[in-house]
Amino acid sequence: MTTPPAAPLRVTLVNGSFEQPPVADMAILPDASQTQAPTRVPGWLTTASDHMIEIWRSGFNGVPSADGSQFAELNANEVSTLYQDLPTTPGSTLYWRLYHRGRLGQDTMALDIGAPGSPVEQRRFTDGTTAWGYYTGTYTVPAGQTTTRFSFRSVSAAGGNRSVGNFLDGIFFGTAPFVELTKSAIPVGPLEVGDVITYRVTAKNEGGGAAENVVLSDDIPEGTTYVPGSLRIVDGPNAGPKTDEQGDDQAYFDEETNRVVFHLGSGASAGQGGSLPNTETLPAGTTVEYRVVVDRSAGGTRISNTATATYENRLGDTPEPLTATSDEEITEILPAADLNVTKSADATTVTVGQTMTYRITVRNAGPNQATGVVVTDELPYGLTFLSADTASGTYDPATGEWAVGDVPDGATATLVLRAKATEAGPLTNTATVTGNETEPDTSDNTDSVTICVEPAPSCCDPCATRG
């Protein structure tokens, strides 16, 4: 069984767009360190002596937000630095992006990243009041740095008021998306030919940023046939049944490649995948399912299945294509053998006292060897057993059972029965075959022969009168 690599330590800011707590227009609230306060700003800390952070509602004083419904002003009651300390893995690459805007004119802010005691200035941003500036970048965590401070420091603000300047919004700082796939088969094997398997695949983003354009595909396993209409998103964005035709919905069965395809995440459509947030936002991820029927060719084998998802990391300047592979799901299928029996008689009309010869043939159409094969062929009243010839197994005239034993795939076995007719009339003789393996088709497991036994010449025809 293959196991995908484990996700790296996730790094992501809390409340990056300052959506919590919601405010009516503007409010100055305690930072996250003030645990005694009934309402505070989650995630964010400030170097301000009063530990206060200023939050604006989009549209307040005519200033729209850049992302979501709220944003922050870096200077609340005094010049300060906003920051979060995050656990990090040395050597990992962290992505950052942000929106910055001036309040009364050209405001300047510095981005400092590094160890909590000595963050290093990465870049300065100067923006006016007409539009939000948008900025992105990366940061590689130095050796030995297991905690990293991500902070915004006020450098200057137009107007000279210590409580005015530097709007912030839409902040992200963290690791790239990392999608993990887990797969299950229901029910758990061993199964039989003709059983239905429900495959479920769960996609979770254990990274920091959202996984974009998420497309999951799953080849229909060899030895199975897709069940039309079984596509379903069980949990997550856009949950519900999906259509089978490409272009009609966000999931389809591709008959040419014999695979199912799901476009996953928020905003997914028939043409492309959507956005899958990390498990801090969407703990359960998203789960899909489809069904297959076990074919006769799969008898005695192990069905193997692995799903794949493609997605993009769009935190950098250009999209980075990424791939996730699920664990390998293996289902054991019990052996199957398609037995059939045919029966014939050397004559259809005989007289009382005459010897009848029956020929019973068993064939195994596979795909596996048949074991414990038994043919039940009890002679009816009016026939007396004389002898049985067979190269396979033994025949018990008392029970009418022919213990054939094992019949290889494609092989046949024959029993020749001889009996004396002792009673006049129509006589029907039936042979039925069974075996230990799964029987995909039992319609040809029984065959019958009817003969007419006539008496010595007389005035009547008992076969005709008995009909």
**DSSP assignment string, 105-159:** S-EEEEEEEESTTS-EEEEEEEE-SSS-EEEEEEEEPPTT--EEEEEEEEEE-TT
Burial class (CB in 10 A: 0-12, 13-18, 19+), 279: middle
pLDDT-based confidence at 441, cuts 50/70/90? Answer: confident
Distance from C-alpha of 423 to C-alpha of 386, rounded to nearest angstrom: 15
Alpha-carbon distance 22 to 56, whole Å?
9
User: 3-class DSSP state for residue 465?
Assistant: helix
Residue-range domain boundaries for the chain: 26-174, 179-332, 337-466
Torsion of CA 160, 161, 162, 164, to 10 degrees: -110
Average confidence (pLDDT) over 17-34: 96
CATH of 337-466, one of 1.10.3720.10, 2.40.30.260, 3.90.1150.10, 2.60.40.1510: 2.60.40.1510
The whole-angstrom separation of Cα 324 and Cα 315 is 18
What does the pLDDT look like over 56-94, one tens digit per residue? 999 999 999 999 999 999 988 888 999 999 999 999 999
Token pair listed for 344: 């014939």
Fold designation for 179-332 = Immunoglobulin-like (2.60.40)
Report the share of the chain in percent with pLDDT over 90.
83
Euclidean distance between CA atoms 445 and 439, whole angstroms: 9
Superfamily (CATH) of domain 26-174 = Galactose-binding domain-like (2.60.120.260)
CA distances for 238 relative to 108, 165, 187, 353, 448, angstroms:
42, 41, 26, 79, 57
Confidence of residue 125 (pLDDT cuts 50, 70, 90): very high
Position 438 confidence tier, pLDDT thresholds 50, 70, 90: confident
Say whether pLDDT at 292 is over 90.
Answer: yes
Do residues 111 and 98 make contact, with C-beta atoms less than 8 angstroms apart?
yes
> Do 337-466 and 26-174 have the same topology in CATH?
no
Token pair of 293 as six digits: 């029927």
